[in-house]
Structure 1
Amino acid sequence: MGEKRSGRPTMNDVAAAAGVALKTVSRVVNSEPGVNPATAERVRAAIDRLGYRRNDSARTLRRGRTASIGLVIEDVADPFYAELSRAVEDVALRHDHFLFTGSSGEDPARERDLVLAFCARQVDGLIIVPAATDHGYLAPEFDAGIKAVFADRPPGAGCRADSVLSDNAGGSRTGVAHLIAHGHRRIGFLADSPAIFTAVERLRGYREALAAAGLPYDESLVAMGHPDQERVCAVVERLLALPDPPTALFTGNGRTTVAALRVLDAIAARRPPNHGRVRHGPGRLAGLALVGFDDFELADLLGVTIVAQDPSRLGLTAAEMLFRRLSGHAGPVLRLELPIRLIERGSGETAP
């Protein structure tokens, strides 16, 4: 009964060292009442002397919980998702839970594999930034008691669960309307793949801003796809070569914005020094105004106007929603939409 396992002292060892019953040690370890203060102090001294550590995994398993949650995001290397993940982890730690994180890479099959792997490890709950458009595969997990919250994008078909999103369409409307207010009538729109919910919502906001200003929607000014440098370079070169090129760009996420800035800088560097335009910042390179969706590192120093969502608040809200469900809340399914704000820094405030 009193032997050590793998060199680690057990609760039986503590009881023997303190000269008390096993139940007394259990009460002290779990901060339960009913133990004489002097006895409790003797038990704590034995714990310190032996280096005993409570086996939380066994304790939580007996209660049907594992004190862990899983987070599935697009890419752990993306600064936006890194910030979201950190906020989730902070909330998890406050609730004495561990966080397991994995990247789906926008692959629905990979998302499903990660989710089911976390479920197989008996996490108490999940926060998912979905890549899939069908989440019917979660039904057995929900029946088994798993709780889930979807962040950044809503759940797909076959799934009813809480979600927290940013106002993607409203943010895009605000950014494009800002360019229109400064005299721009030909505005290029560069965004992520049309298979991604947020990209489609931002396109909707772009179109709504044009319609509100009485401007036509021109498909030749729109390009959607993966935000890699080579593709963005080709898109910007194509837009500038149009018979009636845009005077401004609205970029649909931080990575697209950074790629576009690199292209515009390269294009401006090829022009003669006395081309007739003064370079005041990256947004005015190559004669274009620019507003980007999402803030990014050094955007303030570069003077890039952006519409900013708050990834920390997104992660914080999603995690708090999840732990509310884990605590027993059984209210109706919630869908929260967080506001987005325009931050003017000069790149979108230049007239055509």
Structure 2
Amino acid sequence: MVRKPATLKDVAALANVSRATAARALNSYGYVGDETGRKVQAAAETLGYRGNRLAQALRGGRLPVIGCILGDIQNPFFARIAHDIEVLCRECGHNLVIASSEEELEQEISLLASLQSLGIRGFIVAPASAEGNSHLQRLTAEHVPIVMVDRVAEDVECDSVAVDNEGGARKAVDYLIGMGHHRIGLLQDNARIFTSRERMNGYHAALSANDIKANDRIVSVSQSTVEHAVDATIRLFSQKTPPTALFTVDSLMTQGALLAFRSMGISIPYDVSLIGFDDFNLATFTDPQITVVSQPVSEIGRTAARLLFDRLSGKSNDMQKIRFETKLVVRGSVSHRSGR
């Protein structure tokens, strides 16, 4: 027979006190004498009593849960961010609720509203849009702690952790130009997403600084999935005069481009050079290995979580906008090209 869990009534009976007194002793509110408190705690231990932590937290207005809404938790980058946030949450005695906006602003709004209704203490969010974030503005106006991770909503004043996306993209395109490439294709995500916009700006800044005219025909927009990136790359390189090099704005697009090149019989780096933003596991297992713009992903999630807990504990008053530097990791996917 399965033994029923001990209840507050059982604890009170064993300690020979009222249920109200047992509740005060176990939940640390109101007055309970030292001797009575010890009796109640001893009874609880004897019976293996476990209180309803959710109910206790709701009564105190301090639910030990953090909400985390990311763009797409199937993306390895966001999966690592979520993992690192969850580890630090456990270290701080909190649990983590993770959700995916799937890069849809309306879904992000709905998720935030649902999680806020549960009394969650604070949020870490990768905004689906750089603008139009009245839902986040409302939360900050209500003094709900928010930390933006990976992305920045330009119309929201709160702590944030990101990288120098524009500078990283510029490093990549400058390197391609230095290797003799002038028809440099761009595979990008929707421009309303902060990271995509910043990386596109870096691409254009590098072209402009080197007196290369931008060409919309060699820019392709794709959803950030391998499948969509395959199709976008095939369209881009089916042109009569395709690019001699390609810069992709995230690791899933880089993987999609690799599959597309294989299906088209295009050889890297002899037929086309390739640089992707964000490193990924397979980048060093391909032949050649892929040159990437690397970002310190191991620091981003933990830093965002630490900012949030500092805010919750009152350790931090000044708004913090942390930007990590990126690094161009040169491997074998870029070849030198003579002439224009």
TM-score by length of 1: 0.82
Q: Over residues 288-309 of structure 1, what are the superposed CA-to-partner deviations in whole Å (9 max), with x where a residue is unaligned?
A: 1111111223211111111112
The whole-number CA distance in structure 1 between the counterparts of 2:202 and 2:141 is 37
Query: Does residue 316 of the first structure (1) align with residue 302 of the second (2)?
Result: yes
1:135 to 133, 136, 150: 133
Q: Quick one: structure 1 residues 259 and 320, their matched pair in 2 at CA, closer, same or farther if it must change by over 3 Å? A: same
Show structure 1 runs of 5+ residues with no match. Answer: 1-5, 270-278
Amino acid at match of 1:136: S
2:330 to 335, 341, 344: 344
- What's 2:146 paired with? 148
Show structure 2 runs of 5+ residues with no match. Answer: none
TM alignment of 1:90-105, pairs within 5 A: 90-105=87-102
Amino acid at match of 1:300: T
2:256 to 255, 259, 267: 259
- What's 1:292 paired with? 276
Counterpart contact for 1:155–1:161, Cα < 8 Å = no
Deviation at 1:225, TM superposition (A): 2.7
Q: Quick one: structure 1 residues 231 and 68, their matched pair in 2 at CA, closer, same or farther if it must change by over 3 Å? A: closer
Query: Does residue 212 of the first structure (1) align with residue 209 of the second (2)?
Result: yes
Q: Over residues 269-312 of structure 1, what are the superposed CA-to-partner deviations in whole Å (9 max), with x where a residue is unaligned?
A: 7xxxxxxxxx6xxx32x611111111223211111111112333
Counterpart contact for 1:125–1:147, Cα < 8 Å = yes
Report the secondary structure of 1:118's partner residue: helix
Counterpart contact for 2:170–2:203, Cα < 8 Å = yes
Deviation at 1:211, TM superposition (A): 2.6
The whole-number CA distance in structure 1 between the counterparts of 2:278 and 2:109 is 27
Counterpart contact for 2:25–2:41, Cα < 8 Å = no
Q: Quick one: structure 1 residues 140 and 241, their matched pair in 2 at CA, closer, same or farther if it must change by over 3 Å? A: closer
- What's 2:311 paired with? 325
TM alignment of 1:1-352, pairs within 5 A: 7-10=4-7, 13-14=10-11, 16-17=13-14, 46-132=43-129, 133-157=131-155, 159-228=156-225, 231-242=228-239, 244-268=241-265, 283-284=268-269, 287-302=271-286, 303-329=289-315, 331-348=317-334, 350-352=335-337
The whole-number CA distance in structure 2 between the counterparts of 1:139 and 1:222 is 33
Report the secondary structure of 1:67's partner residue: strand
Q: Which has the larger displacement, 107-116 or 57-66?
A: 57-66
Deviation at 1:351, TM superposition (A): 1.4
Amino acid at match of 1:137: H
Q: Quick one: structure 1 residues 110 and 213, their matched pair in 2 at CA, closer, same or farther if it must change by over 3 Å? A: same
Report the secondary structure of 1:287's partner residue: coil
Report the secondary structure of 1:117's partner residue: helix
Q: Quick one: structure 1 residues 62 and 199, their matched pair in 2 at CA, closer, same or farther if it must change by over 3 Å? A: same
Deviation at 1:14, TM superposition (A): 3.8
Q: Which has the larger displacement, 134-143 or 216-225?
A: 134-143
The whole-number CA distance in structure 2 between the counterparts of 1:142 and 1:199 is 25
- What's 1:275 paired with? none
The whole-number CA distance in structure 1 between the counterparts of 2:227 and 2:301 is 31
Counterpart contact for 1:86–1:312, Cα < 8 Å = no
Counterpart contact for 1:149–1:318, Cα < 8 Å = yes
Across the aligned residues of Structure 1 and Structure 2, the Cα RMSD in angstroms comes to 2.9
The whole-number CA distance in structure 2 between the counterparts of 1:228 and 1:82 is 14
Q: Which has the larger displacement, 222-231 or 48-57?
A: 222-231
Amino acid at match of 1:291: I
Q: Quick one: structure 1 residues 144 and 227, their matched pair in 2 at CA, closer, same or farther if it must change by over 3 Å? A: closer
The whole-number CA distance in structure 2 between the counterparts of 1:135 and 1:28 is 42
Counterpart contact for 1:123–1:146, Cα < 8 Å = no
Report the secondary structure of 1:298's partner residue: helix
Q: Quick one: structure 1 residues 258 and 93, their matched pair in 2 at CA, closer, same or farther if it must change by over 3 Å? A: same
Counterpart contact for 2:162–2:300, Cα < 8 Å = yes
Deviation at 1:152, TM superposition (A): 1.4
The whole-number CA distance in structure 2 between the counterparts of 1:264 and 1:224 is 17
Counterpart contact for 1:163–1:336, Cα < 8 Å = yes
